[in-house]
Amino acid sequence: MSHKNPPIAEWRMLIDGELVPSSSGAVFENINPATDEVIGVTADGTREDFLRAIESSRRAFDTTSWSTDRAFRAKCIRQLQTALQRHAEEIRPLLSAEVGTPIWLTRDTLFDVPVARLSHYADLAENYQFDDELEDVDFRGVVSKRRIRYEPMGVVAGIIPWNGPWGSGLSKVGPALASGSVIILKPSPDAPWMGTIVGKLIAEETDIPAGVVNVVTAKDNYAGEVLTSDPRVDMVAFTGSAPNGSRVAEVGAKTLKRMLLELGGKSAWVVLESADVTEQAALAAKTICANAGQGCVARSRLLLPRARYEEGIAAAKAAMDAITVGDPQNPNNFMGPLNSKHHRERVLGYIERAKGDGNRLVRGGKIPEGLEVGCFIEPTLFADVKPDDTIAQEEIFGPVLAVIPYDSEEEALEIANNSIYGLSAQVAAATNEEAYEFAKKIRTGTVSINNGTWMAMDVPFGGFKQSGIGRQYGRQGFEEYLEIKVLGMPSGEKSGTLAWGEVEASDKVGKAA
Q: Catalytic residues, which ones?
A: 262, 296
Long-range contacts of residues 330-335, Cβ cutoff 8 Å, at least 24 apart: 330/103, 331/103, 331/104, 333/102, 334/102, 334/104, 334/286, 334/289, 334/290, 335/102, 335/289, 335/290, 335/291, 335/292, 335/379, 335/399
Euclidean distance between CA atoms 85 and 103, whole angstroms: 16
Q: Which amino acid is at 371?
A: L
| Beta carbons of 239 and 168 less than 8 angstroms apart | yes
Strands (E), 18-74: 18-20, 27-31, 38-43
Q: Which amino acid is at 351?
A: I
Q: For residues 115-147, b (16+ Cβ closer than 10 Å) or e, as one string?
A: bebbbbbbebbeebebeeeeeeeeeebbeebee
Euclidean distance between CA atoms 319 and 430, whole angstroms: 22
Residues ≥6 apart with Cβ < 8 Å to 163 = 99, 191, 291, 294, 295, 296, 339, 397
In 3D space, the residue among 113, 13, 115, 34 whose CA is nearest the CA of residue 453 turns out to be 113
Radius of gyration of the chain (CA): 26
Q: Which amino acid is at 105?
A: L
| Beta carbons of 404 and 385 less than 8 angstroms apart | yes
If phi over 0 gives left and psi between -120 and 50 gives alpha, with beta otherwise, what is residue 131? beta
∠ at Cα 416 (243, 315), nearest 5°?
110
Q: For residues 491-509, b (16+ Cβ closer than 10 Å) or e, as one string?
A: eeeeeeeeeeeeeeeeeee
The phi and psi torsions of 157 (rounded to 5 degrees) equal: -100, 120
Strand partners, 468: 262
